[in-house]
Amino acid sequence: MKSVWSIALLIIISCSPKPNNENSEYFFSTASESEKRAKSLLSLEGSEDKSDILKINIDLPNSSKQTNYFANKKFDWIITFEAKDGEFAKQEINSIFDREWRNQNQTPWLYVLPKDSSNWTYMITSEDSGPEISKFAISWKLIETLEDPMRIYSEEDILNLKKAVEEKVAALESFSITYNYTPKEASDLSMKLSRFIPANDYYPVIVLQADKKFDGKEIWDVMMSLGLKWGDMDIFHWNNPYDSYGGDQLMSVWTSTSPGYFFPEEIAAGNIETDDLIFGFSAPRSPAPDQVFEVMLKCATYAKSRLGGKLLDGDLKELNVEMEKKRILDVVNNLNKESIKPGIDDALYLF
């Protein structure tokens, strides 16, 4: 369900073309460094204050500091080992399932439950927990959507992994082993997710297409007037204020005009003109996709009032607001049927 412009954003993320000015020096920087960099060249205050547009009203549970780090019991295939007498030696387990073995077996995650603790943690971050563990677990995410082609596990794949694990632990003594899914259950779930995720990975997009090219300095002023922040990926964002819920940004703005992002140095030098502005966000990763869309529409409409142009959808057709709202509602309903809440926990894990 990704639009052409959400795919374009993924390309922007993965590519780093050079700016027009070959003599300029650009670098990766922290958020504070980025703000300082932009502020030295352009005003961070817009000519108008329209930041009140950036408001949503959602009731989220209070977040608490995570102390238990374990696999996703719903969407991972997990094998758990428990010592019957005594404990496992953490160093021995780490040696058995070393990096080479993990790389040869679809790169699973390894978790440990330290002796006298009720909190699981990653093997790689457990140096301070002592040398003995009462349990350990190995897990595979049952779908890998970022791989091309998408990794889907067949029953044979799961059986091969099961065999590989059991061969490695044969030398261990006195332990019990449990599986959260049978090989068939795991492969069935993997196939189900291979259909479910693409069908609901919807990225609502509004394209403000220029009648004549948008000037970079005018774009900057509009974005600052809206209260958006320039930062990650050198594009504009409505940053997410909700700790632990949703992605880092509630909405982003970029352009299809090469290179797709905005260097403040190039804007200040008058080198930037674009054919459009593209407003978008991930519906399943948003804690309130219906409200975020309403805000995005207001932002795009304001930008249109300042810059001109026309509003289109992600397929460059006339924007049908009600159709977009229906698509978002369909995604929310589909997630709810699987007991997945947009923007929280499982939604962030899958999408």
Q: pLDDT tens across 243-300, in order?
A: 778 999 999 999 999 999 999 999 999 999 999 999 999 999 999 999 999 999 999 9
Nearest-angstrom CA–CA distance, 350 and 284: 9
Query: Of all residues in the chain, what percent carry a pLDDT higher than 70?
Result: 88
Q: pLDDT tens across 73-97, in order?
A: 999 999 999 999 889 999 999 999 9
Residue 16 has pLDDT above 50, yes or no: no
Residue 14 has pLDDT above 50, yes or no: no
Instruction: Provide the pLDDT confidence category of residue 20 given band limits of 50, 70 and 90.
Output: very low
Question: Residue 261: which region, alpha, beta or left (left: phi > 0; alpha: psi -120 to 50)?
Answer: beta
Q: pLDDT tens across 137-160, in order?
A: 999 999 998 888 999 999 999 999
**Strand, helix or coil at 311?**
strand
Nearest-angstrom CA–CA distance, 179 and 182: 7
What is the signed CA dihedral for 225, 231, 233, 236, rounded to 10 degrees? -10
> Which domains, from first to last, does the chain contain?
4-13+27-54+199-350 (3.30.1400.10), 76-179 (3.30.70)
Tokens 């995604």 label which residue?
Answer: 331
Contact 120, 70 (CB under 8 A): yes
Q: pLDDT tens across 212-228, in order?
A: 999 999 999 999 999 99
Instruction: Provide the pLDDT confidence category of residue 326 given band limits of 50, 70 and 90.
Output: very high
For the chain, the average pLDDT equals 90
Q: What is the pLDDT of residue 304?
A: 98
Residue 204 has pLDDT above 90, yes or no: yes
Tell me the CB-side half-sphere exposure of residue 67, using CA atoms within 13 A: 7
Residue 26 has pLDDT above 50, yes or no: no
Residue 346 has pLDDT above 60, yes or no: yes
Nearest-angstrom CA–CA distance, 94 and 112: 10
Q: What is the pLDDT of residue 68?
A: 85
Instruction: Provide the pLDDT confidence category of residue 11 given band limits of 50, 70 and 90.
Output: very low
Q: What is the pLDDT of residue 86?
A: 85
Query: What residues contact residue 94 under an 8 Å CB cut-off, 6+ apart?
Result: 110, 123
